[in-house]
Structure 1
């Protein structure tokens, strides 16, 4: 009924003109003393003819409406599928749509090329920057104990720089990792041990204790990307846990728990911690926060068809839960 109402409103001028003409001719026939039966008969014939024409026109209107509706449901509709214009105005609108479609395609093409060039340049830069980072690390190792406390601090900062580069690279690749996924049976304990070894210097330097309860679990996942997720979570825990704190890792019912004794997250910020760029009140106080780490974790876990969530209480630490249950795997 809605389309019928739209059709009537669209043709309201023509309908009004029809009734005005009927009234004029009726008045003329009446003044000319033409018999009423002849007037009514002529009016009825006109009404029937107008109804037939209106029904045919309404059918075309409804078909065109359904065609346009189907086009809106198609993600990438072809411009050739537009209904044939019924008059010059419709043809003008069709030409405008075609021109806008052409300009949109050109803009998308330019944006794609520019984005690809930017990603290619950044990827090249990330690989090139690793060479001086590795060289600086070797120089510091060569000095060994002679480097002293300054050398140890430089090593830590160098490690942080390498972490930022790796995170940025993971961010770029995570946007389209479908072709990079390789699912296999991964021993979770060995993977966690590798992550802990990577951050061992930070645990020791900050005197943070690790309580890792072996899980004995084998996950059907991509080892490289799950390693990145675990690294991001442990990096966050180290960042927001004060010296002398603790980090606990254990598993319950195929869910991996990573809990720290850090500053925690405010209750009002907790629902948004996995949003892109969200840092929260505590994150703004600690300028190290970028709001990208947990969003990257959520993005990767979604690609792996696993779940991730966080629970926290301000001032009492945070626990991040990775849901590795096989029923979530598809």
Structure 2
């Protein structure tokens, strides 16, 4: 656009100088000014029309970018010039390549997920046989230690199965009215051998508060929180589990342990993937995945996880459940 203005301005000045220097061309100054004004007016009109025509395509592209539409390739504007047509073809090719790459990645992830699920199911068969053997020989004292170790392996494999299912959680999501106490009790029953090994007492209140949630995935979150509480609790310690209702109507599940606590500077990062912190480094079994996975699932099913902790005073994890009418926002 600037080059056009410079070209026109240079041509106009050149013409005026030529008229002024050529003695054979006599023109009044007023006529020369009138001619210059007329040419400038025509040029400005042409410039405005050309500018709008040449920038219309780019303006529509900027609008599409601002909307951040997933299906942007379908909303590409109609080309005005050949370069616009080439741009459309180039962007369309990019979209096609992206979709192909994404399909390949999804297919590879699906194969890996199916392989993991199949592997977990295969491993569960010998684990079930081991559990039956343990149950049949409980009179032998070493069986308690073996059962505790069996439980750790079972929890790791079960967590791996849930990790393989997480990408498709939205398709495996069923809301039901469930009592919080039942979910906690079911998980405590499975974790009993570990609690007995460490002689950990469980203080569970008797409140019956119901929530609308997905029982299976909610139990997965509770399992991660309880295993963390047991892992970091001292031998002979206690874990307190309470439920209450806020004035807003939200139900809250609190799990409090008597562990070493979490430093204040570590609290903002406890839900980060792979983060173990100073406390986790003292336990070789810490992977930094438990709270991360719990947070990822919680965000998908509308549960808010918060942690309060002080060094030497234990840790409290709160699960705040959404109200029934809030699930429309959760699903979007």
TM-score by length of 1: 0.88
Could you tell me how far apart the structure 2 residues matched to 1:83 and 1:307 are? 42
Could you tell me how far apart the structure 1 residues matched to 2:30 and 2:176 are? 89
Mean Cα deviation higher: 188-197 or 260-269: 188-197
Is 1:101 paired with 2:95?
yes
Q: Tell me the CA shift for residue 260 of structure 1.
A: 0.2
* Pair 1:328–1:276, CA change in 2 (3 A): farther
Corresponding residue for residue 130 of structure 1: 124
Could you tell me how far apart the structure 1 residues matched to 2:49 and 2:198 are? 82
Aligned with residue 36 of structure 2, among 17, 31, 43: 43
Aligned with residue 183 of structure 1, among 175, 195, 206: 175
Q: Tell me the CA shift for residue 279 of structure 1.
A: 2.1
Is 1:32 paired with 2:28?
no
Q: Tell me the CA shift for residue 204 of structure 1.
A: 1.0
Could you tell me how far apart the structure 2 residues matched to 1:89 and 1:218 are? 62
For structure 2, the residue ranges without an aligned partner over 5 or more in a row are 246-250, 328-332
Aligned with residue 280 of structure 1, among 268, 277, 287: 277
Residues 119-147 of structure 1 deviation map (CA, whole Å, 9 limit, x = unaligned): 1111111111101111222233344434x
For structure 1, the residue ranges without an aligned partner over 5 or more in a row are 1-10
Mean Cα deviation higher: 169-178 or 315-324: 169-178
* Pair 1:108–1:137, CA change in 2 (3 A): same
Corresponding residue for residue 235 of structure 2: 243
Corresponding residue for residue 8 of structure 1: none
Corresponding residue for residue 248 of structure 2: none
1:199 alignment partner, SS class = helix
2:307 alignment partner, SS class = strand
Could you tell me how far apart the structure 2 residues matched to 1:256 and 1:162 are? 25
Is the CA contact (8 Å cut-off) linking 1:189 and 1:217 kept in structure 2? Answer: yes
Is the CA contact (8 Å cut-off) linking 1:213 and 1:249 kept in structure 2? Answer: yes
Could you tell me how far apart the structure 2 residues matched to 1:185 and 1:88 are? 61
Is 1:326 paired with 2:323?
yes
What's the RMSD between the two structures over aligned residues? 2.1
2:223 alignment partner, SS class = helix
